[in-house]
Amino acid sequence: MIIVLKPGATEKEIESVENKVRDSGLQVHLSKGVERTIIGAIGDERKVDAAFFEVMDCVEKVMPILKPFKLVSREFKQDDTVLEIRDKVLGGDRVVVFAGPCSVEGRDMMLDIADEVKRSGATFLRGGAFKPRTSPYSFQGLGVEGLKILAEARERTGLPVATELMDTRDIDLLVEYADIIQIGARNMQNFKLLTEVGKSDKPVILKRGMSATVHELLMSAEYIASQGNANIILCERGIRTFETATRNTFDISALPVLKQLTHLPVIADPSHAAGKSELVQDLAAAAVAAGADGIMVEVHNNPEAALSDGPQSLKPERFASMMKRIGAVSAAVGRGI
């Protein structure tokens, strides 16, 4: 941690900072420049909050040197984390695909879509039983019934199932029915929920919050990992910016940046990023070209009647065409699908 003092800091003030550094279990390294005095605080600064020094009157700014996350960092573990989920592998050479409807709306539609996406080569099923909706008057999901339908779709297709957890009180249900628990973008900093999934050993898809930085996403992953569950899959799904031509702005750079910073697998959700089905195929191809370990897309057999996210859902034919396109691109960048 580098502590920059204000110009004109007195000897007494410098000493008070030095003492506070030592009291925090760090070593002092003093540097007097022409315009500023700088104090290096050497040691494992992750235990100490920068705010602890920023608050001092004589301090101009504090710059952390170490990253605030540890267990999920590439420095902590060099090799890519590879997850085995039932008989599927995530995080290895091949690009995986999660597909399914936004919400489980009923048994027939879910089984129908499950068959379709399996036929086109999907690796995992997705579908929401508990749905975070911005309006209290919108469809909120089928709840437990939705979980049971998902389980049936898994039995039928052999595809493991990912579904969202919204409430700490539902953790046992999710552990029972799902193969992968999803933490949605709006709950990325719901620390109680993170702690709860961290205590289970289920793989967790952690979606990036719409205004979360890459570092904050990794800190939320650290929450889960710090409870003992390192089976984490990060998911870029678009961030909020001033641009309104798309629902969110798909931060494609986050994919290679995350691959540098962490050993965890990283997937991309172009459906939520774009908000429009006609853009999904191009963005999915781009994500694979940029190094994504997987793609998650919404597929619906009748988007015009969908109870949620119709405009961004692919019809099965279009999903099949997307699978071909990302297959070709993943081969071009030296990976299979």
Shortest distance, CB of residue 54 to its own copies, whole angstroms?
4
Closest CB to its own copies among residues 86, 186: 186
Shortest distance, CB of residue 90 to its own copies, whole angstroms?
20
Q: Do residues 204 and 229 touch, judged by C-beta distance below 8 A?
A: yes
Shortest distance, CB of residue 163 to its own copies, whole angstroms?
15
Q: What one-character DSSP code corresponds to residue 71?
A: T
**Contact partners, residue 47, CB within 8 Å, separation at least 6:** 24, 25
Closest CB to its own copies among residues 17, 149: 17
Shortest distance, CB of residue 197 to its own copies, whole angstroms?
13
Closest CB to its own copies among residues 223, 319: 223
The most distant pair of C-alpha atoms in the chain lies apart, rounded to whole Å, by 76
Shortest distance, CB of residue 78 to its own copies, whole angstroms?
11
Shortest distance, CB of residue 161 to its own copies, whole angstroms?
21
Count Cβ atoms within 10 A of the Cβ of residue 104 and give its class: 0-12 exposed, 13-18 middle, 19 or more buried.
buried
3-state secondary structure of 124: strand
Closest CB to its own copies among residues 156, 320: 320
From the list 77, 100, 102, 81, the residue with the least C-alpha distance to 90 is 81
Closest CB to its own copies among residues 118, 335: 335
From the list 163, 162, 164, 222, the residue with the least C-alpha distance to 189 is 222
The span from the CA of 291 to the CA of 165, in Å, is 27
Closest CB to its own copies among residues 72, 233: 72
Q: Do residues 30 and 14 touch, judged by C-beta distance below 8 A?
A: yes
Shortest distance, CB of residue 16 to its own copies, whole angstroms?
9
The span from the CA of 259 to the CA of 214, in Å, is 11
Closest CB to its own copies among residues 116, 309: 309
Q: How many CB atoms lie within 10 A of CB 231?
A: 22
Q: Do residues 299 and 316 touch, judged by C-beta distance below 8 A?
A: yes
From the list 100, 70, 337, 96, the residue with the least C-alpha distance to 230 is 70
Closest CB to its own copies among residues 46, 156: 46
Shortest distance, CB of residue 15 to its own copies, whole angstroms?
14
CA dist 291 to 135, 252, 255, 326, Å? 35, 10, 7, 12
